[in-house]
């Protein structure tokens, strides 16, 4: 059976991106996102829940992301999922 690991997230940044460099001099940008979901419950009331995700970008994309993005901005991210906790 083939394996497939791809995720697409759309949400808002919860904090300003933080750029750092690995010992190999590769740029790494870490940031957090909030993904909100709204729906109407069985009782007719509007409900909302938020999912908070920490993300990491490497290479030239990390430098560009850090340069143009800030807390509260809307962002769409495509990548692979790695569960740490």
pLDDT in tens, 38-72: 999 899 899 999 999 999 999 999 999 999 999 99
Domain ranges of the chain: 11-70
For 14-43, what is each residue's pLDDT tens digit? Answer: 999 999 999 999 999 999 999 999 999 899
Q: What is the pTM of this model?
A: 0.85
Is the per-residue pLDDT at 8 higher than 80? Answer: yes
CA atoms within 13 A on the CB side of 67: 6
Q: What is the dotted CATH code of the domain comprising 11-70?
A: 2.40.50.140
Number of Cβ within a 10 Å radius of residue 75: 15
Q: Please give the pLDDT value at position 59.
A: 96
């Amino acid at each position: 059976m083939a394996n497939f690991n791809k995720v697409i997230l759309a949400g808002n940044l919860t904090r300003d991106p933080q750029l750092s460099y690995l010992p190999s001099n590769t740029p790494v940008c870490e940031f957090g996102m909030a993904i909100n979901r709204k729906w109407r419950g069985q009782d007719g009331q509007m409900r909302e829940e938020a999912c908070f995700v920490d993300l990491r970008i490497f290479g030239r994309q990390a430098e560009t992301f850090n340069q143009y993005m800030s807390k509260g901005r809307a962002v769409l991210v495509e990548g692979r999922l790695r569960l740490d906790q």
